[in-house]
């Protein structure tokens, strides 16, 4: 009996030490983070949406179990001011500048806007100084990756785009509802086209522009505008049946997307989108050199 009691005490002490070390490591990681980043503790979650979720994309959102390691994510999308520093320091030319055009929103359509690039706002005019804290737009996946590489070289840290799984996990912040705000998303909580609310809810505001990256309340994990404002690039290639392949495996750990494809994943919806496209499980995609006034990006920093 004494031996059992001693073993129980030693086991409890060992567990306490592990927990203490875990907290200590987490605290040290958080202390070393840049000001605008938060540590997202890893774990398991159900990715995708249930078949009962209103307005889901039934052929793309098969629920499957995912296990993720811890990572650090920016509270905000990359701003105009931040991207400007990158361009001035590196003389980088975006795909929009090299190609001479970007897609702009015209009514309910996207049309090619000649000469439109990251300098410009939604109106097609050069961004005013008052919008320097808005998310940069008209940036491609290629541009976002180039920014990550530049910042990594500059700081000696590893910055990258989030994987699609990391993006949904961080957006949900432990929630299982269509939005991290619950069963509905209002235009007091997010920037999207309020003429097209979720389900049968009342209409809201349509701002027809981006807003500052620190607008509205953050989600439970301290991340801002994970729904709406700008759709955000993910690292993954896009494949319409990738979730089905993941489901067949039972559980996937740190999935990085399919091995082949011609387009990249976008997440979160934007100022120009209906509420349904802002859902936590909502998926979109575009070519790696695609750019428009509704697309931006945020960063992940590996701890």
- pLDDT score at 18: 36
Residues in the chain: 303
The first and second tokens of residue 295, run together, are: 């697309």
| pLDDT band with cut points at 50, 70 and 90 for residue 110 | confident
Range 14-23 average pLDDT: 43
At 98 the pLDDT is 98
Kindly indicate the confidence band of residue 11, based on its pLDDT and cuts at 50, 70 and 90: very low
User: 80-90 and 141-155 are packed helices; what angle lies between their axes, rounded to 10 degrees?
Assistant: 70
pLDDT of residue 162: 98
Q: Are strands 295-296 and 231-237 parallel, antiparallel or unpaired?
A: parallel
Quote the pLDDT of residue 225: 98
Burial class (CB in 10 A: 0-12, 13-18, 19+), 92: middle
Question: Quick check: 278 and 192 in contact, CB under 8 A?
Answer: yes
- Residue-wise pLDDT tens digits, 151-169: 999 999 999 999 999 999 9
Residues 6+ apart with CB under 8 A from 62: 48, 243, 244, 246, 247
Residues paired with 137 in a beta bridge: none
Out of 1-10, 227-236, 291-300, which region has the weakest mean confidence (pLDDT)? 1-10
Reported pTM: 0.89
Quote the pLDDT of residue 27: 59
- Tens digits of per-residue pLDDT, 19-78? 444 444 455 556 678 889 999 999 999 999 999 999 998 778 999 999 999 999 999 999
Are 235 and 256 contacting, i.e. CB atoms less than 8 angstroms apart? yes
Per mean pLDDT, which range of 11-15, 62-66, 108-112 is the poorest?
11-15
Mean pLDDT of the chain: 91
Q: Output DSSP code: residue 118.
A: T
For residue 195, the 8-state DSSP code is: T
| CA–CA separation, 194 and 210 (whole Å) | 13
- Our measurement of the distance from residue 145's CA atom to the centroid of its chain's CA atoms, rounded to an integer in Å, reads 14
- pLDDT of 20 reads 47
pLDDT in tens, 69-106: 999 999 999 999 999 999 999 999 999 999 999 999 88
Q: How far apart are CA 102 and CA 154, in angstroms?
A: 29
Q: Which residues contact 98 (CB under 8 A, 6 or more apart)?
A: none
pLDDT in tens, 180-225: 999 999 999 999 999 999 999 999 999 999 999 999 999 999 999 9
Find the mean pLDDT for residues 229-254: 96
The pLDDT of residue 2 is 53
Q: Which of 41, 268, 36, 26 is nearest to 159 (CA)?
A: 36
Q: Does the pLDDT at position 117 exceed 50?
A: yes
Give residue 258's pLDDT. 95
pLDDT, tens digit (0-9, with 9 covering 90-100), for 244-286: 999 999 999 999 999 999 999 999 999 999 999 999 999 999 9
Identify the pLDDT of residue 58: 77
């Amino acid at each position: 009996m004494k031996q059992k009691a001693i073993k129980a005490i030693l086991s409890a002490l060992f567990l306490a030490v592990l927990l203490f070390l875990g907290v200590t490591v987490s605290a040290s990681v958080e202390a070393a983070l840049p000001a605008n980043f938060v540590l997202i503790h890893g774990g398991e979650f159900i990715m995708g949406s249930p078949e009962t979720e209103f307005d889901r994309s039934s052929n793309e959102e098969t629920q499957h179990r995912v296990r993720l390691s811890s990572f650090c994510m920016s509270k905000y999308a990359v701003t105009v001011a931040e991207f400007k520093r990158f361009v001035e320091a590196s003389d980088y030319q975006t795909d929009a500048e090299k190609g001479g055009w970007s897609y702009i929103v015209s009514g309910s359509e996207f049309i090619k806007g000649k000469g439109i690039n990251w300098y410009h706002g939604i109106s097609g005019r050069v961004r005013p100084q008052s919008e320097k804290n808005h998310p940069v737009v008209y940036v491609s996946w290629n541009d976002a990756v180039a920014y990550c590489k530049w910042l990594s070289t500059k700081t000696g840290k590893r910055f990258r785009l989030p994987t699609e799984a990391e993006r949904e996990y961080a957006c949900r912040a432990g929630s299982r509802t269509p939005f991290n705000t619950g069963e509905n998303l209002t235009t007091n909580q997010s920037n999207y086209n309020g003429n097209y609310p979720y389900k049968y809810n009342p209409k809201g505001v349509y701002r027809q522009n981006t807003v500052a990256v620190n607008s509205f309340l953050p989600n439970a994990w301290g991340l801002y505008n994970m729904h709406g404002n700008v759709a955000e690039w993910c690292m993954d290639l896009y494949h319409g049946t990738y979730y089905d392949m993941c489901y067949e495996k039972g559980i996937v750990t740190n999935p990085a997307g399919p091995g082949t494809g011609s387009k990249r994943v976008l997440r979160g919806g934007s100022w120009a989108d209906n509420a349904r496209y802002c859902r936590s499980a909502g998926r979109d995609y575009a070519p790696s050199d695609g750019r428009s006034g509704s697309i931006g990006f945020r960063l992940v920093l590996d701890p």
